[in-house]
Amino acid sequence: MIKVLAQGKTIICKRKANLRQVLLQNEVNPHNGNATIINCRGIGTCGTCAVLIEGEVSEVNWRDKARRSLPPHDPTRNLRLACQTQVLGDVKVTKFNGFWGQGTDIVWNSREL
C-alpha cells in the first residue's frame, strides 16, 4: 500500500488512487475557505485543489496543465491539481494559502516522507 502524508496525517491508499478523493475521504481538505463549497467537484476546471506534491504521481494531464496556465496560477510553479492526480507511490502533500491554493504561505503540510 501507498502512504500519503498530508496535514500531519499518514493516509494509506491504493496505487492509482485519485489524490483529491483520498484526501477528502480522510478529512483532509484540499480547498481553502469558500473553495470548500464552490469548486468543480473534481473535473479539473476550477483549480482550487492545487497542491505541491513530492513523490511519485501520474504525469500532468491536459486539464491540469490548461487550468494551471490561467491566472491566478503560474504555470512555472510546481503545483498540481489534486483532482487530476493519481498517486503512484509514497507522497507528501503541501497546501498553500489563497482561494486557489496559489499563495506562498503554507496552510498545511507534513514534515516527513
SS3 of residue 22 by DSSP? helix
Q: Which is nearest to 41 in space by CA: 51, 30, 55?
A: 30
At residue 81, the pLDDT reads 98
Question: What is the fold, at CATH topology level, of the domain defined by 2-108?
Answer: Ubiquitin-like (UB roll) (3.10.20)
User: Do 43 and 24 meet the contact criterion of CB atoms below 8 Å apart?
Assistant: no
pLDDT tens per residue across span 81-105:
999 999 999 999 999 999 999 999 9
pLDDT tens per residue across span 36-92:
999 999 999 999 999 999 999 999 999 999 999 999 999 899 999 999 999 999 999
At residue 110, the pLDDT reads 74
The domain locations on the chain are 2-108
User: Do 99 and 92 meet the contact criterion of CB atoms below 8 Å apart?
Assistant: no
Which of the 8 DSSP states describes residue 38? S
